[in-house]
Structure 1
Amino acid sequence: MVAVPVIVLAGFLGAGKTTLLNHLLRAGGGTRIGVVVNDFGAVNIDAMAVAGQVDSMVSLSNGCVCCVTDGGGLDDVLGKLTGAVDVIVVEASGIAEPQAVAQQVLGSADPAVDYGGLVEVVDAVEFTATRARHPELDKHLAVADLVVLNKIDRVDAAELAEVFAVVTELADGAAIVTTEHGRLDPGLLFDRRERPKPAQLSFDDLEDHSQHVHAAYQSIVFESDEPMHPERLMAFLDGRPEGVFRIKGYVHFGRHGTLELQVVGGFLRFRPTRSGSHRTSLVLIGVDMSGLEEQLVGCVGEGEEQAMFAVHRHTES
């Protein structure tokens, strides 16, 4: 069974999280996105008659599915969606504190549910005023895996630098990307799928997609036929640079076997695998990837049995 990443999307009123969500639906290519919201009305769909009906579900024209929940049965809703979509986005606003929603996802007993990160959208224009009205924003930033600093086209360079510096301090090592109109590259959050498009063009196909993405992400691939040293690799993972949002792939530990690795923000997990591969193959995704390949080369080397203890602490049974 392939697990479906569940992304928690948070942000105070007006930050642009629904704009970002609608952008993901337009720019996701052939990816089937499941959306969990409190109200259909804010999402660009045609079936507005069902807006506000808890537990209602509607299929979108691009193969995505939208569902309304009051937050009480989030696990049930995720269970309904996992079999039909490639990724799920839960809009945390109005449901609960973002961290509480993320904990629900992390605590899900459904093997088809995988944690995809907590994304906090911040309004660059109203940042100071929002902090004054909602002091809890500081806490939200501290637990976020990815911070999207939105509306940067509406502030000057000096103000943006000041806001960015404060957000960086509060975000405590989380990756930070800047956007205009919520135009975040979907590839930073999930693996896009390519599926045949219908012959008839939609209005979205006619849009100027060259303006959709402002903040580009980077992706690097690391491969090695030599085993990875457990202690060195864990030191790298524990101290990974700011800006690295996702790491995925397989790690070969020599005679200790091969494990699947998933990193999203501050979340790190190894899983047993039956791939039978005897090589390491990792993809690292983020906004500043300089020097990472050299650091991973330094993690190559056979380790003793006791060196695997740190890995086992993060390994699913």
Structure 2
Amino acid sequence: MVVVAGFLGSGKTTLLNHLLGNSLDARIGVVVNDFGAVGIDAMLVGGADAMVSLGNGCLCCAVGEEGVAPLLERLSRRRDELDVIVIEASGIAEPGTLVQLVLEAANPHLVFGGLIEVIDAAEYEATSRRHPQLEKHVGLADLLVLNKVDRVDPGKVWRVRRLLREANATAPIVPATHGDVDPRLLFDIEVVPGRQLMLGERTDHADHLHAAYDSVSFTSDEPMDPQRLRDLLDGRPAGVYRVKGIVAFGVPGHRERYVLHTVGRYVRFRKTRWPAGEPRRTSLVLIGSGIDAAGLGKELAACVADGESRTDPDAMLPVLRYTFS
């Protein structure tokens, strides 16, 4: 589940329609939050596998005491029909409040996929001067989509990128035209044989994606050092948007299988049993834009445990803080 935010006119609905039209094999449910009595944005969205339109109010303000949990529960009941839920916030929503509501929903069938802030390259400088709170919104984002770069000269793109980096030191900045972002950067694509035949035109444009993603894979048959891995996750390069996979620590009392999921600042480990026959091996994939693959490979290799970290139970404390069963 991902949240798409951005100021009025930045291109959120365009990005959403691009994801729907180039979803590869992902089935997408959409929550569209208009501000106004007539749901214009909902009218402009096409191709969703399921859609809920909330008009005449900000989602971050208009929900009841139960928050967004009932809404997400409605869509998560259709998990056999949907692979991902995209929430398009209104142009005046408070992204931080909305993300907090999503996380508080604590739906066991949903995994938070990050806050995506869409930036209008042509208007950001002027708009942020009129609305200084936009800098805070940029600072909260896990991924910054710098949209409409085709409308400005390279010098302006550079100035806006510098402003974005000053407001947010870690989020990847992905340049885009017409909201053209590779969906594989935002969520997992699981190709089901035969299902893509039913998607028709929705797969025809997959080869025309411009904002391609990068990925780095890492495996180790030796256990990982908990503190070193946690330090790497805390200080990972700005280009890394998502980290996912399985981690084996091998620390006494903590030999379970740890499923890792990170997006932006969000880090979660889920502790499970090792399936019968599955080797106790660490397997990770790092996804982002402009990744230094060789450098990341060396950093990951440096996280392999030595003798001391394999025997000290307290070494797991940095990981257990972000772990649930």
TM over 0.5: same fold?
A: yes
Match of 2:109 in 1: 112
* Aligned-partner residue type, residue 182 of structure 1: G
Unaligned 5+ segments in structure 2 are none
Match of 1:286 in 2: 288
Match of 1:299 in 2: 303
* Aligned-partner residue type, residue 287 of structure 1: S
Aligned partner (choices 55, 71, 82) of residue 77 of structure 1 = 71
Deviation at 1:288, TM superposition (A): 2.6
Match of 2:316 in 1: 308
Is residue 2:64 matched to residue 1:65?
no
Is the contact between residue 29 and residue 86 of structure 2 (CA under 8 Å) also seen in structure 1? yes
Match of 1:231 in 2: 227
Is residue 2:144 matched to residue 1:136?
no
Cα distance in structure 2, aligned partners of 1:164 and 1:102: 24
Unaligned 5+ segments in structure 1 are 1-5, 47-59
Cα distance in structure 1, aligned partners of 2:73 and 2:158: 42
Deviation at 1:32, TM superposition (A): 1.1
Deviation at 1:83, TM superposition (A): 3.0
C-alpha distance 17-254 of structure 1, shift in aligned 2 (>3 A): same
Is the contact between residue 240 and residue 287 of structure 2 (CA under 8 Å) also seen in structure 1? yes
Cα distance in structure 2, aligned partners of 1:185 and 1:44: 24
Match of 1:53 in 2: none
Q: Deviations over 1:20-57 (max 9, x none)?
A: 000000111221111001255424679xxxxxxxxxxx
Deviation at 1:193, TM superposition (A): 3.0
- Which runs of structure 2 are paired with 1:31-110 in the superposition (5 Å)? 31-39=26-34, 41-43=40-42, 64-69=49-54, 71=59, 72=63, 74-84=68-78, 85-93=82-90, 96-110=93-107
Is the contact between residue 42 and residue 53 of structure 2 (CA under 8 Å) also seen in structure 1? no
After TM superposition, the structure 1 stretch with the greater mean CA deviation from structure 2, 278-287 or 256-265, is 256-265
Is the contact between residue 214 and residue 288 of structure 2 (CA under 8 Å) also seen in structure 1? yes
* Aligned-partner residue type, residue 83 of structure 1: R
TM-score if structure 1 supplies the norm length? 0.87
Deviation at 1:172, TM superposition (A): 2.5
Cα distance in structure 1, aligned partners of 2:5 and 2:74: 22
Deviation at 1:154, TM superposition (A): 1.0
Is residue 2:13 matched to residue 1:18?
yes
Identical counterparts, % of pairs: 47
Match of 2:2 in 1: 7
Q: Deviations over 1:208-244 (max 9, x none)?
A: 5544x22211011111100001111111111111110
Deviation at 1:95, TM superposition (A): 7.5
Aligned residue pair count = 295
* Aligned-partner residue type, residue 313 of structure 2: E
Is the contact between residue 223 and residue 282 of structure 2 (CA under 8 Å) also seen in structure 1? yes
C-alpha distance 74-316 of structure 1, shift in aligned 2 (>3 A): same
Cα distance in structure 1, aligned partners of 2:158 and 2:135: 18
Deviation at 1:179, TM superposition (A): 0.5
Deviation at 1:93, TM superposition (A): 1.2
* Aligned-partner residue type, residue 75 of structure 1: A
- Which runs of structure 2 are paired with 1:150-299 in the superposition (5 Å)? 150-195=147-192, 196-198=195-197, 201-202=200-201, 204=202, 209-211=206-208, 213-255=209-251, 256-257=254-255, 258-276=257-275, 277=278, 278-290=280-292, 291-299=295-303
Cα distance in structure 1, aligned partners of 2:212 and 2:123: 24
Is the contact between residue 196 and residue 203 of structure 2 (CA under 8 Å) also seen in structure 1? no
Question: RMSD over aligned Cα, in angstroms?
Answer: 2.1
